[in-house]
């Protein structure tokens, strides 16, 4: 069995239950799992050598980051001029005709580009929400790309079944028959889903949104996922992303998005919803009671002017919350560490933007608790333990014996940390604009070494990706 030793690390932020942060510390890895983490001086004698040894004396080590929401194919349509200044619905309507030209190779290549960008930011696990299947595209195309690049993957079988002629948002040519969606969902679960400890690939079912699928498909997808008892097949969709999204639910279904989810059986520990920017207090309470998860996507929410999600209130209420970069065409990047920093900053300014309230004859302004609304370690928790919880994974998100060896190492000698790491290396990772990860390790395998991806040749990949991006937009 292969072994890897991270030795003399400057700092290891474990994100374990006790919040241990070790200095001059070590991690011993065997067969993809952590066997020891703690002070270098206490490293057992039989773990003081390994097949590979990384000297981490100038590095901060953190758990591999976890991305809970993405649309990787959208890396082909970043910064498209026609939708640079559009809100959600207009943005979608502008891009649907372009995405209708997607091919299997485009999905494969764009998945690898998106995953490369994530891995270089220290992200080791990602979900992806692929809900468009034109021209022979299958979720298998994304799965193949993930296997080659070496990322831990939750592949969601997205879907759209209600086109414009039926009151939905997408054009009719991009929707599928619901029987075909369910049959393919079953095929994917039975072919790929791995429920074991340390699984590299899992499948979730993900009808796209209230404005693109029927209530029948929502119910039947939930029933299908839950019919695989004990396998942990999860459910995912978009919910309450902006005011138009809420208005659509009220007009079409006569209820709020949270009520819609509850009515259809889309609450519970096996469900996570993307965005939830406009989740009201009753919705927050419902999600907390049912342990329904949320993928918080701050950069995308800002880019599309959707609003500021009430993350502090969600977390304080007990809602499981992780981070998502969302689609590369609404971010327009896939840097999970940058997303964590944005979550930290946006939570603070979001508090300041709350209207003043009268309490005891005094005016209390929303900014009274602003800087403490989210700390650097809170943001790191969302990016690691929070994301693992949202994806239903108990084997990732922290650095502890028995956990998967997913971790990221950042070189504290980089100029980005100058004058910061000497005070608090962990906080500096979130407060400063951090560089690329120097090492990213997935299940004990080094996939980023010295800031360079080791599993695919980035030059030809980017060149082919750019060719396809021009082709795709030019065809629309």
Beta strand segments in 109-255, E: 123-130, 152-159, 201-207, 234-239
Alpha carbon 62 to chain centroid distance?
17
Q: Which residue has the tokens 């690329």?
A: 436
The closest of 98, 56, 54 to 77, measured between CA atoms, is 98
CA 456 to chain CA centroid, nearest Å: 22
Please give the average per-residue pLDDT across 403-425, as a whole number.
Answer: 97
Backbone angles phi, psi at 294, to 5 degrees: -135, 135
Could you tell me if 163 and 172 are in contact, meaning their C-beta atoms sit under 8 angstroms apart? yes
The pLDDT assigned to 372 comes to: 75
The pLDDT value recorded for residue 367 is 46
Q: Sign (positive/negative) of CA torsion 326, 331, 336, 340?
A: negative
Q: What's the pLDDT tens digit per position in 401-413?
A: 999 999 999 999 9
Res. 353 pLDDT band, cuts 50 70 90: low
Q: Which CATH superfamily is domain 65-390 in?
A: Metal-dependent hydrolases (3.20.20.140)
CATH superfamily of 3-63+397-453: Urease, subunit C, domain 1 (2.30.40.10)
CB atoms inside a 10 Å sphere around CB 459: 8
| Whether pLDDT at 296 is above 80 | yes
pLDDT at 201 over 80: yes
- Lowest-confidence pick of 101-105, 211-215, 230-234, 361-365: 361-365
pLDDT score of 357 more than 60: no
pLDDT exceeds 60 at position 392? yes
83-106 pLDDT tens trace:
999 999 999 999 999 999 999 999
**pLDDT of 368 higher than 60:** no
Nearest by Cα to 50 from 36, 39, 64, 61: 36
Between 366 and 319, the higher pLDDT residue: 319
CA distances from 93 to 9, 171, 330 (A): 49, 8, 13
Q: Measured in whole angstroms, how far is the alpha carbon of residue 81 from the centre of its chain? A: 26
Q: How far apart are CA 468 and CA 451, in angstroms?
A: 26
Say what the pLDDT of residue 362 is.
61
Which residue from 221, 219, 177 is spatially nearest to 203, judged by alpha carbons?
221
| In the chain, domain spans | 3-63+397-453, 65-390
What are the backbone angles phi and psi of residue 159, rounded to the nearest 5°? -165, 155
Q: What is the pLDDT of residue 360?
A: 62
Minimal CA–CA distance to 218: which of 265, 163, 171? 265
pLDDT of residue 435: 86
% of the chain beyond a pLDDT of 90? 92
Residue 356 has pLDDT above 90, yes or no: no
Q: Residues 31-36: what's their mean pLDDT?
A: 98
- Check residue 355 and give its pLDDT: 56
Name the nearest CA neighbour of 241 among 285, 266, 211.
211
With cut-offs at 50, 70 and 90, classify the pLDDT of residue 292: very high
Arithmetic mean of pLDDT, 65-77: 98
What are the pLDDT digits (tens) for 165-184? 999 999 999 999 999 999 99
| pLDDT above 70: residue 157 | yes
Tell whether the model's pLDDT for residue 316 goes beyond 90: yes
Position 358 pLDDT exceeds 80: no
Mean pLDDT of the chain: 95
Residue 1 has pLDDT above 50, yes or no: yes
Question: Which pLDDT score, from 0 to 100, does residue 212 have?
Answer: 95
Model's pTM, two decimal places?
A: 0.96
Distance of alpha carbon 172 from alpha carbon 146, whole angstroms: 30
């Amino acid at each position: 069995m292969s072994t890897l030793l991270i030795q003399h690390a400057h700092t290891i932020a474990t994100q374990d239950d006790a919040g241990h942060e070790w200095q001059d510390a070590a991690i011993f890895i065997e067969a993809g799992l952590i066997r020891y983490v703690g002070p270098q001086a206490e490293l057992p004698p039989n773990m003081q050598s390994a097949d590979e040894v990384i000297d981490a004396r100038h590095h901060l080590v953190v758990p591999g980051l976890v991305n809970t929401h993405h649309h990787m194919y959208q890396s082909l349509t970043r910064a498209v001029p026609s939708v640079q200044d559009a809100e959600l619905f207009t943005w979608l309507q502008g891009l649907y005709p372009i995405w209708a030209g997607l091919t299997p190779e485009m999905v494969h290549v764009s998945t690898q580009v998106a995953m490369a960008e994530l891995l270089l930011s220290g992200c080791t696990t990602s979900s992806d929400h692929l809900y468009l299947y034109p021209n022979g595209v299958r979720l298998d195309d994304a799965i193949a790309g993930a296997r080659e690049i070496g990322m831990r993957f939750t592949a969601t079988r997205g879907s759209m079944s209600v086109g414009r002629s039926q009151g939905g948002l997408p054009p009719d040519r991009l929707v599928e028959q619901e029987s075909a969606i369910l049959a393919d969902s079953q095929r994917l679960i039975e072919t790929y889903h791995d429920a074991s400890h340390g699984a590299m690939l899992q499948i979730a079912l993900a009808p796209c949104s209230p404005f693109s699928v029927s209530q029948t498909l929502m119910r039947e997808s939930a029933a299908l996922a839950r019919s695989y008892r004990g396998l942990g097949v999860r459910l995912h969709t978009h919910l309450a992303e902006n005011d138009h999204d809420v208005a659509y639910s009220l007009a079409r279904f006569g209820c709020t998005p949270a009520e819609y989810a509850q009515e259809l059986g889309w609450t519970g520990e096996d469900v996570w919803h993307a965005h939830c920017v406009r989740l009201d207090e009753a919705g927050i309470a419902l999600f907390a009671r049912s342990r329904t998860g949320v993928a918080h996507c701050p950069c995308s929410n800002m880019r599309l002017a959707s609003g500021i999600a009430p993350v502090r209130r969600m977390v304080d209420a007990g809602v499981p919350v992780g981070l998502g970069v969302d689609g590369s065409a609404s971010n327009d990047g896939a840097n999970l560490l940058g997303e964590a920093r944005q979550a930290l900053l946006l939570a603070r300014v979001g508090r300041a933007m709350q209207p003043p309230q009268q309490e005891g004859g005094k005016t209390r302004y929303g900014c009274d608790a602003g800087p403490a609304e989210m700390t650097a370690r809170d943001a790191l928790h969302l990016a690691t333990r929070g994301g693992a919880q949202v994806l239903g994974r108990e084997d990732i998100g922290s650095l502890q014996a028995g956990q998967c060896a997913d971790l990221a190492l950042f070189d504290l000698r980089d100029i980005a940390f100058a004058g910061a790491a000497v005070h608090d290396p962990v906080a500096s990772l979130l407060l400063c604009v951090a560089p690329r990860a120097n090492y990213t390790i997935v299940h004990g395998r080094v996939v980023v070494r010295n800031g360079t991806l080791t599993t695919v040749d980035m030059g030809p990949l980017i060149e082919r990706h750019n060719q396809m991006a021009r082709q795709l937009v030019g065809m629309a």
